[in-house]
Amino acid sequence: MDDRPHKAHRPAQSGSKHEKKEKGKGKEKQHGFNEKAFAPKSGRRADRQGRRNVERDQTRLHVPLVNRTPDDDPPPVIIAVVGPSGVGKTTLLKSLVRRYAKQTLNDAKGPITIVSGKKRRLTFIECNNDLNSMIDIGKIADLVLLMVDGSFGFEMETFEFLNILQSHGFPKVIGILTHLDLIKKASTLKDTKKALKKRFWTEIYQGAKLFYLSGVLNGRYPDTEIMNLSRFISVMKFRPLVFRNSHPYLLADRIEDLTPRELVRTSKGKCDRTVTVYGYVRGTNLRLGTKVHIPGVGDLDMSNVTVLGDPCPLPTADSEKRRKLSEKKKLLIHAPMSDVGGVMYDKDAVWVNVPGSFTRGNADVPQGEGEQMVMDLQDADKTLEDRVAQSNIRLFGTSSQALKVDPTSDSDSESFSDEEEEEDESGLGSSSDGESESEGEDEDEADTPRDLHNTGRSGRRTITRSLPSSSLKEKTDIEYAESDSDLGEDEEEFSARMGKRVRINGDEDDHDIPSDEDEDGEDNEDEDEEDEKGEEDESIPKWKSNLAERAAQNLSSSSKTKRKDWIKLIYTSSLSPDEILLGKKQSQTEETADDDFFQVRSKQQTDDSEALDAGKEPIDVESLKKWEDEEMLDSIRKLFITGGEGDQGEGFNNDGENPDGENEDEDEEDEEDDDEAGPSRSKPKPTSIDPGMSRADALAAKKALLKRKFDEQYDDPESSSKADFYSEAKDEITKQLALNRAEFAGVDAEARALIEGYRPGQYVRIELQNVPCEMIAHFDPSYPIVVGGLLPAEERFGYVQVRIKRHRWYNRTLKTNDPLVFSLGWRRFQSIPIYSLDDHSIRMRMLKYTPEHMHCFATFFGPVALPNTGFCAFNSLAADTPGFRVSATGVVLDIDRSAKIVKKIKLTGTPYKIFKNTAFIKDMFTTALEVAKFEGANIRTVSGIRGQIKKALPKPDGAFRATFEDKVLKSDIIFLRAWYSIQPRKFYNPVTSLLLSEKSKWSGMRLTGQVRRDEGLKTPLNVNSTYKKVERAPRRFNALIVPKKLQAALPYASKPKLMKPQKHMTYLQKRAVVMEPEEKKALALMQQIRALRKDQVARRHEKKEEKKAERAKKLEKEDAKKSDREKERKKDVMRIAGQKSKREADMQEGGGRGKRRKT
């Protein structure tokens, strides 16, 4: 310690801190919460406050949604890193991976799964700048890290991606601003952050989280910032999204080609491939037998699904007793497409990355995992055969002796050889596969230490993967048959034949079915009704003897009946329903099936051609005869509410009693019951048996039950009333989920997969058939492979009606019959929509163009998606498209096999003969048949005279008679307004972007204009379509002539006034005027005065004009000056802008960044 005095505190004299202090100076500091301050002052206010609180509570509530993702062992959360190129995505990904797994990846590609906590795993995936990838990632990401270059601002891709997210269900988004270190000035930085945050908030929601990452250190972002980000990620909660909650899906983190090499070779790599994809099941349960869609590839059939051991398991309760995740578990990372530990899995090979020269010997150099693996492979000193011979495999745990391999019997040795060999056997032995399998095998090592020589490896990856016992391919058919060998013989045969099948627990009960047949004679007639016909002769005399006993036996169903394993009988046996019901021997059918290729048709196999597909079985009169017996009738009394306690076991307490007497009893009881509540109905009745203790016990039990019921109802009345709709719905959901979990908990894995499919969270391997070879040939790990499960409805095609709105940032209108690329459901495809609007709920009227700022309907042919599924549409997916690429968004409304869209059509014709209100019209139709079709249709002239088509005329063809409400003119055009129904073109073109070698270069159907432009063709010109000058002869109207007769009859007011002008001069015109001298003088004076005045006005006007011109000149001068100044200013601005852009371009070149599109 040095004894220098500490520096004294110097309060800030300026700056924000000083201002803050200044502001707070006047106020007194408050300590603690002042209750009085927030108490309502009036009752009115208290009321209002209460209301507000309640309302606020309601806004908190969301529609209860079932979360199909299991709470225990959920699949990893998918975190997508999205942003334009050069923004720092890979750096962030590497930083995050290093933060979690303490490993530096050189080549981070494809999904990277790591364990982030005791209950959470994360899958990171980087999204490249291709729109196709953005669409696919947007559909599966749970959390999006949206990266924005802070020094540049938002780019078009960011907004496009956000709009894609919006239409497919919005996952959580965290914004991340990078390159903030490029902004040097603190105030600019502050302003930039503020502006970007504001824009980001308007786009997502107010208060959305935005992170700031400063510069890069050692190729990573600063550790503290990454740690903060990882903390945010770890506490993030996810609400289930509707689409993902109803579809199974998978983000493939590994892909392999299983096609036989020979086939690939012979077809020169052009054959359809068999491909396996690996990944965690997400969403809902994945079922074998449904189709899957890989966006960018197409619909594919799953031929096989296998549950594999989790490559990146969560710490289990036993392994991890601590509160925190241990460091060892943290190292777990699963990223087959990246280069973890120097090993990279390619589509058909495993690459081991070795630094420097690859020699054995130098053991002092730390070896990567892959390197070590290769070394160890070289260490193998024995062949596989030797190893197998040496191995000590025991069939059972209790077996005293290990199995010996008999070299002569090949088939046996196969079944016991380890997995690697099996792979080779089945012709799947690509090197990568072998590797992966041996890796899976490795996972066992944690539990069972093996001889190192046997595995052929001295060391193993630091990664440990535990392997559930029931998983992987250990249950291949041959082994399975062996494991069942303790069952009956036919059983074994059967299962061997059926191959990989289900076994349900409880094999102890699993007796031979034939045994039923042996006992048929003795018991249960109702079980096999068919037999009864045959047995009739015997059973008739029999049935009357000791009926009561048999009834008793029947009801409690004899103890000898063997229980059938229905699941196996129905689903895995090939027995016909009849054989199952009658309990036919399985072995018999097996034998016949096995022995001969040709079979003699047995009687049972042929359908009874007259057997009806009837709803009800005919009533069997014989079996009803037992009900003639009183005892038999009494025996089912307990099945009625009045029948007393009787549960199934003690059914016959009332045997001895007289039925009539009992009836009375019951009646009395009923009356009592009316007073009491329902539950007391099953009251103990005074029976003749069981007096004393047991009765007292029963009574006590009954009382306790009643008391409990009472307590439930009365003690806590709030418990029932408290539950509102919301919590009720939530309770129901949790209850159902608990049932879902409980119901199949005991069933073994394979049977479970058969019944409920593969649950979310399981790591599976899906084998896909007939995959286009281009997918493998042009595989690129930086493009995500999403495997989306399809619902049965979604495999179909039809006309999809959607509500669509052109995006307001897309700057062109959309035209009917122009192809559009839709992203709907899992799919991306091009189709041709027809836009329409609802015309007064009468018809769907076609629109040529989408309306501005308004929704309209669109109908297109394509794969069906459920109503209420959102979609977005693009005109072009290419990266070089200028402007905003999302051209429309919308939602699916309806699905049908036909579309009802009409467009208006006007048929025109001209009158060629006109009577009073009737006219003959030609040129509208060409045949009389057409006219007949339109009889009675409304027609109209251009001037608005309405009419009707009456009947076709014999000549000329297509002419008809029509009546109008007034006389039409010969020059009138008559038209008929009709509706013509149109169907959208059946065009569907999936966007197969993953099949291309250049994945962003997909181009679909081009527009006609585009094709012409590309091909250099001229637009064909129709001569009739050219515009010509319209020659309109001046119209001559004839004079109106009112007939004399009519004129005479008209009232005076309406009569045409037909007076001729007067020809003779009137007296006033004719006479001459002579003035007096005074009058003359006065007139002259007046004339002079007028002349003077006129002159004055003229002069004044002249002067004004002069002044006006002067002023105009002045104004003009001023304007010229002003415009000069403006020009100068503009020049300045442009110069500055030009410099800026030049600087930017320079900077980009320097930073190696790609093209930017500034918004």
Partner 1 sequence: MAQPNSLIHFSGHQHLRSRLVLSILSGKHVRIDKIRSEDKNPGLRDYEISLLRLLEKFTNGTIIEISVTGTAILLKPGVILGGTLQHECPTSRAIGYFLEPLIMLAPFAKKPANITLKGITTDEHDFSADILRTVTLPHLQLFGISQGLELRIKRRGATPGGGGEVQFMCPIVKQVKTINFVDPGRIKRIRGVAHVVRVNPQFSNRMIEASRSILNRYIPDIYLYSDIYKGDESGKSPGYALTLLAESTTSAIYCSEAISEAGVAPEDIGLKATRALLSEVEKGGCIDERHQILVLLMMVLGSEDVGRCRMGEPTRKTIQFLRDVRSFFATSFKIVSADPPDPECSQLIYSCYGTGYVNANRALA
Point out which span in 273-281, 755-763, 813-821, 1142-1150 binds partner 1 (CB under 8 A).
755-763
* Residues 477-516: x where in contact with partner 1 by CB under 8 A, - otherwise, as a string: ---------------------------x-x----------
**Between 777 and 891, CB nearer to partner 1:** 891
Q: Is 1098 in the site for partner 1 (CB under 8 A)?
A: no
Q: State which of positions 866-925 bind partner 1 (CB under 8 A).
A: 866-868, 891-898
Give the binding range for partner 1 (CB under 8 A) out of 104-112, 193-201, 294-302, 539-547: 294-302
Residue type, 737: L
Residues 666-695 that bind partner 1 (CB under 8 A): 666-667, 670
Pick from 234, 246, 415, 1148: which binds partner 1 (CB under 8 A)? 246
> C-beta of 517: minimal distance to partner 1 in Å?
16
Query: Which of 393, 446, 639, 1084 touches partner 1 by CB under 8 A?
Result: 639
Nearer to partner 1, 439 or 794 (CB): 794
The region of 407-415, 577-585, 903-911, 1120-1128 touching partner 1 under the rule CB under 8 A is 577-585
Among 795, 838, 965, 1106, binds partner 1 (CB under 8 A): 795
Q: Which of 616, 1032, 1035, 1060 binds partner 1 (CB under 8 A)?
A: 616
**Residue closer to partner 1 (CB basis): 673 or 923:** 673
Residue of 405, 487, 567, 729 interacting with partner 1 (CB under 8 A)? 567
Closest CA to 178 of 79, 111, 91, 80: 91
Does position 736 interact with partner 1 (CB under 8 A)? The reply is yes
Return the range that interacts with partner 1 (CB under 8 A); candidates 406-414, 775-783, 864-872, 1127-1135.
864-872
Largest distance between two CA atoms of the chain: 168
List of residues 6+ apart from 909 with CB closer than 8 A: 921, 922, 923, 924, 925, 973, 974, 975, 976
793 sits near partner 1 (criterion: CB under 8 A): yes
Among 53, 202, 558, 1010, binds partner 1 (CB under 8 A): 558
- Smallest distance from partner 1 to CB 607, Å: 5
For partner 1, the closer of residues 447 and 607 by Cβ is: 607
Asked if residue 757 binds partner 1 (CB under 8 A), the reply is: yes
Helices (H), 1025-1159: 1044-1049, 1067-1070, 1077-1151
- Dihedral sign, Cα of residue 870, residue 876, residue 881, residue 883: negative
Cβ atoms within 10 A of the Cβ of 324, count?
10
Q: Which of 266, 316, 557, 588 binds partner 1 (CB under 8 A)?
A: 557
| Residue 740 binding partner 1, by CB under 8 A | yes
The count of chain residues that interact with partner 1, using the rule CB under 8 A, is: 101
H helix or E strand, kind and range, residue 516: helix 514-518
Buried b (16+ CB within 10 A) or exposed e, 470-483: ebbbebbebebbeb
d(CA 104, CA 95): 8
Among 536, 578, 1105, 1132, binds partner 1 (CB under 8 A): 578
Residue 690: CB minimum distance to partner 1, A:
21
Per rule CB under 8 A, is residue 1063 in the interface with partner 1?
no
Q: Which residues contact 374 (CB under 8 A, 6 or more apart)?
A: 352, 354
Q: Is 304 in the site for partner 1 (CB under 8 A)?
A: no
Give the shortest CB-547-to-partner 1 separation in angstroms.
Answer: 14
> Terminal CA-to-CA distance of the chain, rounded, Å?
58
Residues near 315 by beta carbon (within 8 Å), at least 6 away in sequence: 115, 118, 325, 326, 329
User: Contact between 563 and partner 1 (CB under 8 A)?
Assistant: yes
Name which of 395, 828, 396, 226 is nearest 405 in CA terms: 395
Binds partner 1 (CB under 8 A): choice among 14, 16, 408, 559: 559
Cβ atoms of residues 833 and 788 within 8 Å? no
646-665 positions binding partner 1, by CB under 8 A: 648, 659-660, 662-663
For residue 774 the two structure tokens come to: 């281009």
Tell which phi-psi region holds residue 706, choosing left (phi > 0), alpha (psi between -120 and 50) or beta: alpha
User: Does 242 engage in binding with partner 1 (CB under 8 A)?
Assistant: no
HEC profile of 645-697: CCCCCCCCCCCCCCHHHHHHHHHHHHHHHHHCCHHHHCCCCCCCCCCCHHHHH
Does 641 participate in binding partner 1 (rule CB under 8 A)?
A: yes
Residues 1017-1056 interacting with partner 1 (rule: CB under 8 A): none
Q: Give 911-947 as a 3 state SS string.
A: EEEECCCEEEEECCCCCHHHHHHCCCCEEEECCCCEE
Residues 576, 530 contacting (CB under 8 angstroms): no
Q: How many CA atoms lie within 13 A of 340 on its CB side?
A: 22
Distance CA 773, CA 348 (A): 13
In the complex, least distance from residue 291 CB atom to partner 1, rounded to whole angstroms: 8
- Indicate whether 599 belongs to the interface with partner 1 (CB under 8 A): no
Q: What angle do CA 579, 584, 590 make, to 5 degrees?
A: 95
Q: Please, what's the b/e burial string for 656-678 (b: 16 or more CB within 10 A of its CB; e: otherwise)?
A: eeeeeebeebbeebeeebeeeee
Stretch that binds partner 1, among 283-291, 321-329, 421-429, 704-712 (CB under 8 A): 283-291
DSSP class of residue 38 equals: H
- C-alpha to C-alpha distance for 473 and 306, rounded to whole angstroms: 7
Asked whether position 1059 contacts partner 1 by CB under 8 A, the answer is no
Smaller CB separation from partner 1, 70 or 434: 70
Structure tokens at 1004: 């679909």
For the segment 694-713, give every residue that binds partner 1 (CB under 8 A).
none
> Is residue 285 a contact point for partner 1 (CB under 8 A)?
yes
Angle at 631 between CA 629 and CA 637, to 5 degrees: 115
Q: Which stretch binds partner 1 (CB under 8 A): 73-81, 589-597, 749-757, 941-949?
A: 749-757
Nearest CB to partner 1, comparing residues 419 and 523: 523
Q: Is 580 in the site for partner 1 (CB under 8 A)?
A: yes
Q: Does 236 bind partner 1 (CB under 8 A)?
A: no
552 binds partner 1 (CB under 8 A): no
